[in-house]
Amino acid sequence: MSWGNPTAHALGDSAITVSFTVESTKEVTARIRAIGAAIRASRIAHAEEVIAAYTALTVFYDSLHVSYEQMSAEILTKCGEASGTEPATEGREHRIPVEYRGPDLDSVAKATGMAPSEVVEAHSAVWYTVDLLGFVPGFAFMSEIDPRLELPRREQPRPRVPAGSVAIARKQTGIYPFDTPGGWHILGRTKVTLFDPNREEPSLFRAGDRVKFEPTA
């Protein structure tokens, strides 16, 4: 039997989500990412895009030319073949300069019983892994933050969080690439451009990349 006992579900008429019967952990996410990469590399006819997530991966396909039955069988076969391979060494490393003067730094310090300087230290001490991109182009969900910093999302999301805001919620941290609404706690800000359609690779981050934040004076 394949790793994680994968089962296929239709996600509408033009996508297939394969769910793995597993708890979401760092290792599981890395393995699903590796399976997703193997599916991408295998160039299944009429398969168009792959999104590897925490406990599932999804393949978008051209349903004018291939049926659900045929495509799901092919994908499950690939999942079986790929499940033996060990996850590749993790992606690129990025060091992101951050000015830690975010509007929520003090409230996070208060809620966690830490000094603001300790919050900054805890947040910037860790190499995070990009688990998944989404929400808006280039937004990376990164884990895992210091357990002392874990807080639920803000009760009142902000209608506008400025681009470059570095924020935390629950076990994750992320950077807002554009001015958007947002409910995470903003610790600081970076000037790095996260998404630029004119770059050869528009998104700075890819799933699997590792990211460390560096406080600027």
Partner 1 sequence: MTITIVKSAPYLAVQDLGRRGYRDVGVPASGAMDPVGLAAANVTAGNSLGAAALEWALGGGSIRFDAPCSFALAGATADALLDGAPVETGVRSLANDGSVLEIGGFPTGRFLYIGIAGGIEAPEVLGSRATYLPAHLGGWAGRLLKSGDVLPIGKHRDDAPRREFRAPADLGLDYSQRTIRVVRGPQWDLFSDGDREIFLGETYSVDAISDRTGYRLKGLPLATEIGSMPSEAVCPGTIQVPPNGLPIVLMADAPTVGGYAKIAVVASSDLPLLAQLRPGEGFRFQEVPVEEAQRRRRRMAASLYTIQTLAVVQGHGEFLAEPWPSS
By CB under 8 A, name the binding residues for partner 1. 9-15, 17, 19, 24, 48-58, 60-64, 67-69, 132-139, 141, 177-178, 180, 195, 197, 202-203, 205-207
Closest CA to 75 of 133, 146, 7: 7
Residue 110: CB minimum distance to partner 1, A: 26
* Cα 137 to Cα 177: distance, rounded to the nearest angstrom: 7
Residue 1: CB minimum distance to partner 1, A: 20
Helix (H) or strand (E) holding 52: strand 47-52
The size of the chain, in residues, is 217
Residue 181: CB minimum distance to partner 1, A: 9
Residue 66 or 114 with smaller CB distance to partner 1: 66
**Residue 55 CB partners (closer than 8 Å, separation 6+):** 19, 20, 22, 23, 24, 28, 32
Query: Secondary structure of the chain: what % helix, strand, coil (to 5)?
Result: 25, 30, 45
* Dihedral (Cα; 2, 30, 69, 62), 10-degree rounding: -160
Residue 63: CB minimum distance to partner 1, A: 5
Residue 35 or 53 with smaller CB distance to partner 1: 53
Residue 126 or 194 with smaller CB distance to partner 1: 194
Residue 3 or 135 with smaller CB distance to partner 1: 135
Q: How far is CA 201 from CA 9, 68, 92, 93, 138, in A?
A: 31, 31, 13, 15, 11
Residue 92 or 101 with smaller CB distance to partner 1: 92
Residue 52: CB minimum distance to partner 1, A: 8
